[in-house]
Amino acid sequence: MTELTPVTEATATQAPQPRKLAVPDAQTVTEVKHFTDRLFSFRCTRPASMRFRSGEFVMIGLMAINEKTGKEKPLLRAYSIASPSWDEELEFYSIKVQDGPLTSRLQHIEVGDQIILRPKPVGTLVHDALLPGKRIWLFATGTGFAPFASLLREPQTYEDYDEVIITHTCREVGELTYGRDLIEALKTDELLNEVIGEGFWKKIKYYPTTTREESPKMGRITDLMRKGEAFKDLGVPVINQESDRAMVCGNLAFNLEIKEMLEEYGLEEGANSDPKHYVVEKAFLD
């Protein structure tokens, strides 16, 4: 077990000090899985009083030393909760940025370590922000899959929609593994099969694509939709306001491009206080 040690934003990659800190809002890591040299997931304990809606994000992090004051303070970043609202634990799906102040360290956590979790969930990728519809599209690039890992395990997603389409565009095949495994596991998910009904997972249409490594479906989802290829592959009509709802989570350029396309299809952006046809959230700040 690695002890939680202070880091500075500038010296985040330096060797840890072997000393344990008193951590505010501490939660204990219960599982860590590495997928590629840039991606990993982990689970941790959940505060007993913490409530959230599937799709929301929280601030998590580690203790760091403020270079100017020399004092310890939490180094926090926004993270989508990848587990559903009913789960006893919390799950996160994370990038590893080699010189990133937080993830250069976070990528080394082990079972038994502590992380900081501010239990104040917020976000727009929630069912409450959408009007009823027939089909929901979940559009992700990279770690933008995280909020959808939560929503895909949320019973309401299948109660509210006849069809659930999840598109995930990544550079390389290995970057699809977390999402692919999660969707495969839904087939034998006892709780969802019991609550929603056997075979609920047949409502899911999974559309993974890669852009820089050979895979069965190559290309950006935006291009595949413009060409009509994605709709043809999925066997669904072009997106329209009457039947389709969408949630978008990816890099800034992707979000902007999809947003423009959805508006062209006649969808309007919703919010918690004003539910409409689609919602968008950044997977990270560029």
Ligand X SMILES: NC(=O)c1ccc[n+]([C@@H]2O[C@H](COP(=O)([O-])OP(=O)(O)OC[C@H]3O[C@@H](n4cnc5c(N)ncnc54)[C@H](OP(=O)(O)O)[C@@H]3O)[C@@H](O)[C@H]2O)c1
Ligand Y SMILES: Cc1cc2nc3c(=O)[nH]c(=O)nc-3n(C[C@H](O)[C@H](O)[C@H](O)COP(=O)(O)OP(=O)(O)OC[C@H]3O[C@@H](n4cnc5c(N)ncnc54)[C@H](O)[C@@H]3O)c2cc1C
Distance in Å, CB of 146 to ligand Y, minimum: 4
Binding residue (CB under 6 A) for ligand X from 20, 71, 171, 232: 171
Is residue 33 at the binding interface for ligand Y, with CB under 6 A as the rule?
no
Looking up tokens 């990993």, which residue turns up?
40
- Asked if 93 is part of the footprint of ligand Y (rule: CB under 6 A), the reply reads yes
142 lines the binding site for ligand Y (CB under 6 A): yes
Nearer Cβ to ligand X (48/285): 285
**By C-beta, is 64 or 267 nearer to ligand Y?**
64
Total of residues contacting ligand X (CB under 6 A)? 15
Q: Least distance (Å) from ligand Y to the CB of residue 241?
A: 26
**Does residue 203 bind ligand Y (CB under 6 A)?**
no
Min. distance of Cβ 217 from ligand Y in angstroms?
21
Q: Which does 220 bind (CB under 5 to 8 A by kind): ligand X, ligand Y, none?
A: ligand X
Task: Out of 43, 46, 53, 77, point to the residue binding ligand Y (CB under 6 A).
Answer: 77
CB closer to ligand Y out of 140 and 164: 140
Whether the CB-CB separation of 229 and 119 falls below 8 Å is answered with no
Segment interacting with ligand X, rule: CB under 6 A, options 27-35, 59-67, 169-177, 235-243: 169-177
Identified binder of ligand Y from the candidate list 58, 90, 95, 247, rule CB under 6 A: 95
Q: Does 107 help bind ligand Y (rule: CB under 6 A)?
A: no
Query: By the criterion CB under 6 A, which residues form the site for ligand Y?
Result: 57, 77-80, 93-95, 97, 100-104, 142-143, 146, 281-286
